[in-house]
Amino acid sequence: MSLSNYHKLLAKQASRLLPEELAGHPALLKFLALVSNTYQSFERDKKISEHAFSVSEKEYQEVTLHLQQQIQIRHQSILKLKKVIRSLDRNDQEPPDIEFPCKDPDEDLIGVISFLEEQIRKTKTLETELILAKEAAEKAARAKSDFLSVMSHEIRTPLNAITGLSHLLMEEEHYPHQTENMTALRLSADNLLHLINDILDFGKIEEGKIVFSEKDMDLRRLVTNIKMANRIHADERGNKIELILDNELPPFVRGDDMRLGQVLNNLISNAVKFTQNGQITVEVLLNKVNESTVTIDFSVTDTGIGIEKGKQELIFERFAQANSEITREFGGSGLGLSIVKRLLNLQNSDIYVDSEAGSGSRFFFSLNFKKTALCRQEHSLPLFGERADLKGLKILLVEDVEFNVLVAEKMLSKWNARVATASNGLKALGKLKEDNFDIVLMDLQMPVMDGYTATTHIREFDKTTPIIALTASTSMEIQQKAFDCGMTDYLSKPFNPNDLLNTILKYAR
């Protein structure tokens, strides 16, 4: 083998140091070839390891950079997390200084996690407490409503006798010096009745239990009847009530006549109450007619004491009154206008007032009604006073409380109706099987057989005779139950004589 075939370094050293005579020695040549191979493989390994080293150095730098970036992101994330937690825990504007358990940045994440765990635990406890508090509040609200309905029932029953008898006493012959006491008795009874009805109504509105009915109603008659119902009180206070009804008003519209009546009655009776020797004007004007609805503007204007500007918003709040002295004189709960407002709000409307202290007030609102094709007069409510006479009408009065029987019987007899009585549902069934009646006035709660059961039995053999429920309860469930078992209408006790008359006239054949 020539020297040039050996590794460069070995070839150089061999040519310099190897004596000429040994150059051809086979054993030596073999040895040199072996050494040359070792040199070359060393060289190769060196190159490989150098390459490997340079590659891992690069990777190492890349990984380190990546790690640094990750650490930075982690630190920033933890900072953001802490900021978010602080802002989450903030009750008002000032962020509180939340102490995280770990100060060491490396343990920050663990700190944040344990802080979050603690927060979750606290939230769960709070949630449980809230559920318990909500249940307690619901229970209290139910107790309040139960109390109201039981108490109202208990109060209404004797009040029925007081209001009814005081109205009758006024109309019967009496000595002149008794008139003042009787007027006071009648007014107090009416005020008390008004108050109880307002409180119950307010309770119902608060509980969201008001449902608006949809009936064909004759607006002219409704408003005229309300005017007439307020006439006696207006006369007593030297007031005149004028009614302005738009000629363009449709004969009938569809809506809740009872609730509209309640709103107008409240406004008119307030106008009468806060005016003396003055004028009250009730206006009902057609505003616009659409394809399926009619908008009607109502206003009640008086020339009474008026309301200071500063108090005009307040009077629509519950139990709010502009002038407590006046209230002491005339009574009132301060609930009337808040009920009016809520009843209108529930029908997408609102009530407004225009008034100046000393020169009267004008309350006004607009209401949408559905159109109806009905225009026959016979569906119309009889005009108040038009037939304060029930001559020839046979009425069966089913009632167990003696006082109630006495009052209703007296009223009905005064209007010339022929009255038969039954003290429970079973007796009523017997009478109805023997005889025909034009109308049945049916109490609901009675011994032996209640009004619901009696009505269910009556409807098995008589589907048409109007049965009007009389009850001291105003709960909607009870009303519904009465209709479900076949009753025709509903009158809550104590009723004003006018309500009784109007309801009977509605069904008189």
* Rounded distance between C-alpha atoms, residue 19 and residue 88, angstroms: 92
Among the listed residues 119, 157, 279, 327, the single contact to ligand ADP using CB under 6 A:
327
Buried b (16+ CB within 10 A) or exposed e, 356-368: eeeebbbbbbbbb
Give Cα 185 to chain centroid, integer Å.
Answer: 37
Q: How far is the CB of 124 from ligand ADP (least distance, A)?
A: 45
Q: How far is the CB of 343 from ligand ADP (least distance, A)?
A: 12
Q: How far is the CB of 207 from ligand ADP (least distance, A)?
A: 20
Contact range with ligand ADP by CB under 6 A, out of 300-308, 367-375, 409-417, 478-486 = 300-308
Residue 305 interacting with ligand ADP (CB under 6 A): yes
Contact range with ligand ADP by CB under 6 A, out of 37-45, 77-85, 208-216, 299-307 = 299-307
Question: Residue 494, preceding bond cis, omega within 30 degrees?
Answer: yes
φ/ψ of residue 348, rounded to 5: 60, 35
Contact range with ligand ADP by CB under 6 A, out of 124-132, 325-333, 343-351, 394-402 = 325-333
Number of chain residues interacting with ligand ADP (CB under 6 A)? 22
Q: How far is the CB of 332 from ligand ADP (least distance, A)?
A: 3
Instruction: For residue 241, give both structure tokens.
Output: 């009530």
* Smaller CB separation from ligand ADP, 334 or 486: 334
Number of residues written out for the chain: 509
Q: How far is the CB of 275 from ligand ADP (least distance, A)?
A: 7
Q: Which residues pair with 254 in a beta bridge?
A: 216, 370
Burial class (CB in 10 A: 0-12, 13-18, 19+), 455: buried
Binding residues for ligand ADP restricted to 407-466, rule: CB under 6 A: none
Rg, the chain, Cα only: 47
Query: Is there a contact between 221 and 380 (Cβ–Cβ < 8 Å)?
Result: yes
Among the listed residues 263, 337, 482, 501, the single contact to ligand ADP using CB under 6 A:
337
- The conformation of residue 291, written as its DSSP 8-state character, comes to S
* Smaller CB separation from ligand ADP, 164 or 304: 304
Q: How far is the CB of 298 from ligand ADP (least distance, A)?
A: 14
- The conformation of residue 93, written as its DSSP 8-state character, comes to S
Residue 203 interacting with ligand ADP (CB under 6 A): no
Which of 395, 427, 435, 428 lies closest to 414 in space, CA to CA? 395
* Rounded distance between C-alpha atoms, residue 307 and residue 337, angstroms: 13
Among the listed residues 36, 160, 230, 321, the single contact to ligand ADP using CB under 6 A:
321
Give Cα 395 to chain centroid, integer Å.
Answer: 40
Binding residues for ligand ADP restricted to 81-140, rule: CB under 6 A: none
* Smaller CB separation from ligand ADP, 305 or 467: 305
Identify the residue whose tokens are 């009850």. 471
* Smaller CB separation from ligand ADP, 281 or 323: 323
- The conformation of residue 91, written as its DSSP 8-state character, comes to S
Which of 448, 495, 447 lies closest to 469 in space, CA to CA? 495
* Smaller CB separation from ligand ADP, 40 or 327: 327
Contact range with ligand ADP by CB under 6 A, out of 71-79, 123-131, 332-340, 419-427 = 332-340
Half-sphere exposure of 263 (CA within 13 A, CB side): 26
Q: 392 — alpha (psi -120 to 50), left (phi > 0) or beta?
A: left
Binding residues for ligand ADP restricted to 360-379, rule: CB under 6 A: 361
Residue 188 interacting with ligand ADP (CB under 6 A): no
Question: What string marks each residue from 251 to 290 as x (binds ligand ADP by CB under 6 A) or -?
Answer: ---------------x---xx--x----------------
Q: At residue 141, what is the residue type? A: A
Residue 322 interacting with ligand ADP (CB under 6 A): yes
* Smaller CB separation from ligand ADP, 230 or 361: 361
Residues that bind ligand ADP (CB under 6 A): 266, 270-271, 274, 302, 304-307, 315, 321-323, 327, 332-338, 361
